[in-house]
Amino acid sequence: AGRAEEQQEYRNFERSWWFSQMEEFFGADQWSNRALEEALGAEANGLACSAATAAVAQGLAPEVSVVCALVAEQAPHLCPVSTSTSFAGIDSLRLARLAYAIRTRLGRSVSAARLRAAGTVSALMVAIEEAEADVSAKSKQCGPPTDMGREYTIWFTPGQHSPMGSWVLRSDEPIDVAAMRRALAKLADRHCALRAEIQDPMHYMSMLFDAAALWGLCGACLEASGLAVARLLKRLICWALVRTWPRVRCGTREQIYAARFPDAPAAPLAVYTSDADGQPLRAQARFERFMKATVRGIKPPFQVSIFEVSCRLVDVWAWAEQYGRGRFAITRALVGGSCVGLVYVDAKSREWGPLLGPGSKRWRTPPYRFPALFFVPLSSGNPLWLRLERADEIHLCYKEGDQRTSREHHAVAYRAAPQRDAETGGAPTVVRYMAITMYHCFADGNCYMPLAQDLFALYDAERKGEDATAALPPLVGPPAFELLERRFLDTVLCRPTPTRVSLRGSIFRYVGLGYGHSFGFEPAAVALLERAAARYGLPFDVALLGLLVCSQARADRCERVQFTVYAPMRDGAAEATMIGLFSDWRDVCVGVDLELATVLGTLLQLFHTVQHREWLPFNALRKPEATIVNVQPLDMERRSHFQHLGENLWWGGDTFREGPAARAERMDWARQPLTFNIEQQDASFWWIMVDVGNTERQPSWLRCFGEALAQAADDLLLQPLAKVHRPFPENIWF
């Protein structure tokens, strides 16, 4: 009887977990300040240098000061920067931005791989001096790229012939549409990927896709056999694959865009003030639905869409909930007779504050599942977020206090006098969103940085009437598609080059049901983990990946963790400034000894593997059993008057009251036995999203993994030399 009761209790526990525990959050509440100060030092609660701290050490030579200033811009936590400063812990995104800044300001090209190898500012100065002659020589030999009318043979999967997730930016200032159109025209002329079109029907790709994957597995065997007939057969198959592979042609900007965008100059820019039904965009809900439908339906290869949302906020609003009711007003703040912004005023509670957008330095991230339009720092010290759900409906999220555990209230407010004239409050407040969308077959997630850098440098120059092309570093070397074609040909010809393509195919696939789970790292926890990673010279994204390795090894009780990571593959001197599908799958193996492995040792081993590119192209035969890892950092740098937004500010709508998402009764089909997505939500919030095949790993495994992840984060902060493999506490029930 006791055994039956225990089994029933476990079934009830597992059912409760299944429907109510789809997300877990890591904050900083579980760590005491004293323990953190002992482990990380007195500055455990802050990363960025204070205002009193100089960004660059004094007494440096002018050129060295410029380089130190560039490093300080990309990695503020390294301040003050001197020649002996080590930047080994800068992540790949900041390295790419540093390489771009060096090219722009110093006119010298240093690859991301060379930056990683340099390690210190003094070594970086040597690399820059050595790169000067190389860049000038390449410029003389290659000159500007000539890709007009050329056809290329590049690799992409049939599923990648679709729009990527859009990069969405917001501006609270008017957009100079004419200057933006001219900037986009120059941007398209500069990058071949923005003028590309597929010449052959896509079903050709579907036929050849699996044939190329099989050839990638067996082609090398023919060469290794030593038989003359085998080598002849290899050359024949290579010739057939290359000749029949679908071509991508680079045309002129007018050929690609003139028919769809007739306004001169022909540039892929569309401006929307109303939706597909002709209804004006006056609230967030309608705008969000329309933007998602618009970006999903763009034509290849590229489009920029501007959405103008006219918000009539100035009015008196009333709300009523179970816990009370009240009124507030939104009015204009006037200084010298000129409007300088909007102000929230609640006469009953005597709270007031300005309405701030994401571009403000005082902006605070809203609670998860509440895509706010404005943030209000109230005079009482409490935060408030506003969302204009519909033209006459505002959703409010009010927090009592500034702590993570402070109570949050959600309310819905309507205009107190809806019969009043629609023009009440004068001219509307116009909020402008810009969505940048590219087809995945011509770009990857790492293209945002070079695309945004070039676009907004050109836009600012056009607005000021300056020479726009002088604002950009020159393109050095062959066009992006020529490099990608070289990688594909190296693969087909079975050349053992490190940049060859991993031909994946669809023959080998995983078939099974699975379930998902998400782990959220809140800003306070992210700040502490960034501090710990910087202390040991680890990039933050590599540190998160290392925590996953430790957790999986402990949950699986194994000594070798193998996974496939979607790597940027942009190690060339000019590749960080190119637009193209450079990212590719690479197989990584990390040893985690059952007796000796420590958390810090495992993270350092992983960093060494990533830093020195000790990985192999993806093996398609292992796809049904592969663990896939995708790391997606966000470039949140403000450019011109635009602020890059995370998906939490424009995707999903207001579901705050509904609470966390619940799993369905039935499982969905899983993509792989195990998939990790490490995704940055905004400047200070990260997610680890896990998809698990139920056949290989039951829900009890995921609970074990979650506990291992929490303990690995604790160990990195407080006891980095703790063993990875150790028994779990007896009071935890998986």
Contact between 181 and 269 under an 8 Å Cβ cutoff? The reply is yes
Place of tokens 């810009």: 434
Looking at residue 352, its amino acid is W
Kindly tell me if the per-residue pLDDT of 137 is higher than 60: no
Which of 105, 127, 142 corresponds to the end of one domain? 142
Q: Give the CATH number for residue 95.
A: 1.10.1200.10
Q: What is the pTM of this model?
A: 0.88
Distance CA 731, CA 451 (A): 52
Q: How crowded is the C-beta side of 485, counted as CA atoms within 13 Å?
A: 18
| pLDDT for 100 | 77
- Which pLDDT tens digit goes with each residue over 195-228? 999 998 877 777 788 888 888 878 878 877 878 8
Q: Are strands 302-311 and 315-321 parallel, antiparallel or unpaired?
A: unpaired
Per-residue pLDDT band for 49 (boundaries 50, 70, 90) equals very low
Contacts of 541 (CB under 8 A, 6+ apart): 91, 92, 93, 631, 633, 678
Contact between 128 and 108 under an 8 Å Cβ cutoff? The reply is yes
Pair 614, 714 in one domain:
yes
Contact between 327 and 416 under an 8 Å Cβ cutoff? The reply is yes
Pair 600, 692 in one domain:
yes
The pLDDT mean for the chain works out to 85
Domain assignment of residue 421, given as a range: 315-427
Q: Buried (b) or exposed (e) across 72-110, using 16+ Cβ within 10 A?
A: bebbebbbebbbebebebbbbbbbbbbbbbbbbebebbb
Residue whose C-alpha is closest to residue 607's, from 149, 89, 59:
89
Pair 527, 422 in one domain:
no
Residue 241 or 217, more confident: 241
Residue 344 lies in a domain: yes
Contact between 120 and 59 under an 8 Å Cβ cutoff? The reply is no
- Which pLDDT tens digit goes with each residue over 450-459? 999 999 999 9
Residue 648 or 733, more confident: 648
| pLDDT for 113 | 73
Pair 405, 508 in one domain:
no
Kindly tell me if the per-residue pLDDT of 585 is higher than 80: yes
Pair 23, 107 in one domain:
no
Pair 37, 122 in one domain:
no
Kindly tell me if the per-residue pLDDT of 365 is higher than 80: yes
Pair 652, 548 in one domain:
yes
Q: Which of 85-89, 501-505, 551-555 has the lowest mean pLDDT?
A: 85-89
Pair 565, 692 in one domain:
yes
Kindly tell me if the per-residue pLDDT of 109 is higher than 80: no
Distance CA 530, CA 544 (A): 10
- Which pLDDT tens digit goes with each residue over 381-399? 999 999 999 999 999 999 9
Per-residue pLDDT band for 734 (boundaries 50, 70, 90) equals low
Q: Give the CATH number for residue 542.
A: 3.30.559.30
Q: With pLDDT > 90 as the criterion, what percentage of the chain qualifies?
A: 45
Q: How crowded is the C-beta side of 437, counted as CA atoms within 13 Å?
A: 26
Residue whose C-alpha is closest to residue 551's, from 399, 368, 391, 697:
697
Q: What is the mean pLDDT of residues 302-313?
A: 94
Angstrom distances, CA of residue 468 to CA of 175, 439, 580: 17, 26, 23
- Which pLDDT tens digit goes with each residue over 248-288? 999 999 999 999 998 888 899 999 999 888 899 999 999 99
| pLDDT for 520 | 92
| pLDDT for 637 | 87
Contact between 574 and 475 under an 8 Å Cβ cutoff? The reply is yes
Contact between 721 and 714 under an 8 Å Cβ cutoff? The reply is no
Kindly tell me if the per-residue pLDDT of 374 is higher than 90: yes
Per-residue pLDDT band for 53 (boundaries 50, 70, 90) equals very low
Q: With pLDDT > 70 as the criterion, what percentage of the chain qualifies?
A: 91
Angstrom distances, CA of residue 695 to CA of 517, 546, 648: 16, 25, 32
Cα torsion for 226, 229, 235, 241, to the nearest 10°?
A: -120
Say how far residue 360 (Cα) sits from the centre of its chain: 21
Domains: count for the chain: 3
Place of tokens 């933006």: 180
Whether residue 727 has a cis bond before it, omega within 30° of 0? no
Residue whose C-alpha is closest to residue 219's, from 209, 233, 208:
233
| pLDDT for 711 | 93
Kindly tell me if the per-residue pLDDT of 45 is higher than 70: no
Pair 569, 682 in one domain:
yes
- Which pLDDT tens digit goes with each residue over 643-659? 999 988 998 888 887 77
- Which pLDDT tens digit goes with each residue over 508-540? 888 899 999 999 999 889 999 998 998 888 889
| pLDDT for 58 | 59
Per-residue pLDDT band for 676 (boundaries 50, 70, 90) equals very high
Pair 533, 639 in one domain:
yes
Pair 33, 107 in one domain:
no
Which of 388, 412, 427 corresponds to the end of one domain? 427
| pLDDT for 342 | 93
Kindly tell me if the per-residue pLDDT of 404 is higher than 80: no
Distance CA 58, CA 50 (A): 17
